């Protein structure tokens, strides 16, 4: 009889121990469009009427704001969005490529074509996607021009050297090209799309200017046009859209209102102690002191101005994740909001700047998402932009490469449904579970009956 009881328990445990898979991940086969509107600060919709952004928020997800990587400048923070890595880990540490031996520097646009600046061990999501059988494209997104570990984005377009980043008619042509030619005709699964505004206007006129507000209305109209284009091209039920930015914008104060930071005026500091420097580039700077002069330069600058932060590379606050990379120079400088770091004399006259500490609210970009895999009318709290990469991989159903984000920080935005394979598997498991339970019941009935029958003669 013991063997019967054993058999019953075995059958029962087989059926009952099989996992009942519940909701875990998305079906993961919808297309994905990532859009960056450069320099769109999280609160730019608060002083401007933005009907299309408001409509998108009702139809999808809106985050309070997102925290970009430090330093908060265009190429580094964009590369964080598409790799999920902090800047010290992906190595695109500045908008400008530079050579400390020859003192050569290249502009933002020229640096797009310095392959080794980008191809530095970390690959953007379009490479992750292509390696796993998906088709990807990138339109003007920083990093598009580069080849990564021998592979380039399948469909890519880089803007020419002289380019008007703010032409609304051109924006609409680009939107229709991406929807019609790239997503519908070429059947791409993922596209990264970059627009250079409202950054340009924010720099030139300042974040509080009427010109910036006008440009936010242009962005809003473009979002309305884009969502209409999605419908016209029959993509509404199979395209997820994420719209975000690389950093915010802060108003620059001038010498009539503040004591400007001018390095050449600081006592005991001299450019003669440096082999190379990167200053006059907004609120951040990096210095390479000559052999044996690091402490002299550091001691001269540290505490020299109440709004200038001076750090040795290895002493940088860990929260900024801007230290552990051989490209980062030995001394790092940044200024408080409102202040710029000038070398000899102020040479930049922008009314708005970014590059400041990513803790400041002025540096936070916006984040919106809409599409079949996103919840509707959901407002979520702030999160770091390193989490956008694992979110995008999750939506595309691909395995992410090593990154610094965590899907658990953002997965609450996504409607979790079982994928078809998991669903049929769980049906089998539930079926087996029921059969197992039924077998246990039959066995128990048989065993009890046998016991009772054996007991009868004794009576």
Q: Which residues are catalytic?
A: 74
Tell me whether residue 199 or residue 260 sits nearer to Zn ion (CB atom): 199
Contacts of 453 (CB under 8 A, 6+ apart): none
Q: How far is the CB of 37 from Zn ion (least distance, A)?
A: 10
Between CA 130 and CA 290 the distance in angstroms is 45
Q: Scanning residues 52 to 91, which ones bind Zn ion (CB under 5 A)? A: 74
Tell me whether residue 199 or residue 384 sits nearer to Zn ion (CB atom): 199
With tokens 């898979």, the residue in question is 21
Contact 275, 331 (CB under 8 A): no
Q: How far is the CB of 199 from Zn ion (least distance, A)?
A: 5
- Measured from each CB, the residue nearest to Zn ion is 74
Q: How far is the CB of 119 from Zn ion (least distance, A)?
A: 21
Tell me whether residue 74 or residue 122 sits nearer to Zn ion (CB atom): 74
β partners of residue 310: 333
Q: How far is the CB of 421 from Zn ion (least distance, A)?
A: 41
Residue from 88, 119, 246, 384 in contact with Zn ion (CB under 5 A): 246
Please choose, out of 32-40, 143-151, 276-284, 386-394, the segment that lies near Zn ion by the rule CB under 5 A: 32-40
Tell me whether residue 199 or residue 220 sits nearer to Zn ion (CB atom): 199
- 384 is a contact residue toward Zn ion (CB under 5 A): no
- 38 is a contact residue toward Zn ion (CB under 5 A): yes
Structural tokens at position 331: 């001394």
Contact 260, 340 (CB under 8 A): yes
Q: How many residues bind Zn ion (CB under 5 A)?
A: 5
CA distances from 401 to 27, 50, 83 (A): 20, 36, 8
Please choose, out of 37-45, 60-68, 267-275, 334-342, the segment that lies near Zn ion by the rule CB under 5 A: 37-45
Pick from 230, 336, 352: nearest CA to 283: 336
Structural tokens at position 105: 């520097």
Tell me whether residue 43 or residue 419 sits nearer to Zn ion (CB atom): 43
- 199 is a contact residue toward Zn ion (CB under 5 A): yes
- 197 is a contact residue toward Zn ion (CB under 5 A): no
Q: How far is the CB of 94 from Zn ion (least distance, A)?
A: 13
3-state helix, strand, coil in the chain (%, to 5): 40, 20, 40
Structural tokens at position 87: 């800047």
Tell me whether residue 81 or residue 333 sits nearer to Zn ion (CB atom): 81
Tell me whether residue 199 or residue 404 sits nearer to Zn ion (CB atom): 199
The number of beta carbons lying within 10 Å of the beta carbon of residue 431 is: 12
CA distances from 85 to 74, 138, 143 (A): 15, 19, 14
Q: How far is the CB of 289 from Zn ion (least distance, A)?
A: 29
Between CA 232 and CA 210 the distance in angstroms is 33
Long-range contacts (CB closer than 8 Å, 24 or more residues apart) made by 271-278? 271/343, 271/344, 273/297, 275/100, 276/98, 276/100, 276/103, 276/329, 277/343, 278/94, 278/96, 278/98, 278/105, 278/329
Pick from 140, 144, 141, 234: nearest CA to 187: 234
Tell me whether residue 197 or residue 246 sits nearer to Zn ion (CB atom): 246
Q: How far is the CB of 326 from Zn ion (least distance, A)?
A: 25
Q: Collapsing DSSP states into helix, strand and coil, what is residue 310? A: strand
Contact 172, 436 (CB under 8 A): no
Q: How far is the CB of 130 from Zn ion (least distance, A)?
A: 26
Residues contributing to the site for Zn ion (CB under 5 A):
38-39, 74, 199, 246
């Amino acid at each position: 009889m013991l063997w019967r009881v054993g058999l019953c328990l075995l059958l029962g445990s087989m059926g009952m121990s099989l996992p009942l898979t519940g909701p875990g991940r998305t079906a993961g086969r919808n297309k994905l469009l990532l859009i960056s509107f450069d320099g769109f600060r999280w609160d730019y919709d608060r002083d401007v009427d933005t009907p299309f952004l408001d409509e998108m928020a009702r139809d999808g997800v809106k985050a309070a704001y997102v925290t970009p990587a430090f330093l908060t400048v265009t190429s580094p923070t964009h590369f964080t969005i598409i790799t999920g890595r902090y800047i010290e880990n992906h190595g695109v540490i500045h908008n400008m490529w530079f050579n400390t031996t020859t003192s050569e520097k290249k502009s933002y646009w020229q640096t797009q074509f310095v392959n080794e600046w980008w191809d530095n061990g970390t690959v953007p999501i379009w490479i992750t996607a292509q390696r796993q059988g998906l088709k990807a494209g990138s339109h003007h997104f920083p990093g598009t021009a580069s080849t990564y570990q021998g592979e380039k984005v399948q469909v890519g377009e880089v803007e020419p050297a002289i380019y008007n980043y703010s032409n609304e008619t051109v924006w609409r042509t680009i939107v229709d090209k991406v929807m019609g030619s790239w997503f519908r005709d070429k059947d791409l699964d993922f596209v990264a799309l970059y627009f250079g505004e409202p950054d340009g206007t924010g720099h030139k006129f300042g974040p509080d200017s009427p010109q910036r507000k006008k440009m936010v209305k242009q962005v809003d109209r473009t979002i309305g046009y884009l969502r209409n284009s999605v419908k016209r091209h029959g993509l509404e039920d199979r395209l997820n859209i994420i719209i975000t930015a690389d950093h915010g914008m802060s108003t620059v104060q001038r010498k009539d209102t503040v004591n400007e930071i001018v390095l050449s005026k600081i006592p005991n500091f001299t450019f003669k102690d440096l082999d190379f420097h990167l200053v006059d580039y907004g609120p951040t700077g990096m210095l390479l002191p000559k052999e044996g002069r690091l402490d002299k330069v550091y001691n001269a600058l540290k505490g020299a101005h109440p709004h200038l932060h001076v750090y040795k590379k290895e002493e940088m606050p860990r929260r900024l994740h801007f230290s552990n990379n051989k490209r980062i120079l030995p001394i790092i400088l940044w200024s408080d909001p409102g202040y710029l770091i000038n070398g000899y004399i102020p040479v930049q006259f922008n009314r708005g700047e970014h590059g400041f500490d990513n803790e400041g609210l002025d540096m936070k970009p916006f984040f919106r998402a809409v599409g079949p895999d996103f919840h509707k009318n959901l407002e979520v709290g702030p999160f770091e932009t390193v989490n956008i990469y694992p979110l995008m991989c999750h939506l595309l159903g691909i395995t992410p490469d090593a990154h610094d984000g965590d899907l658990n920080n953002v997965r609450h935005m996504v409607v979790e449904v079982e994928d078809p394979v998991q669903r049929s598997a769980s049906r089998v498991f539930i079926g087996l579970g029921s059969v197992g339970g039924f077998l246990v019941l039959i066995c128990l009935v048989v065993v009890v009956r046998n016991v009772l029958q054996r007991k009868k003669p004794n009576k």
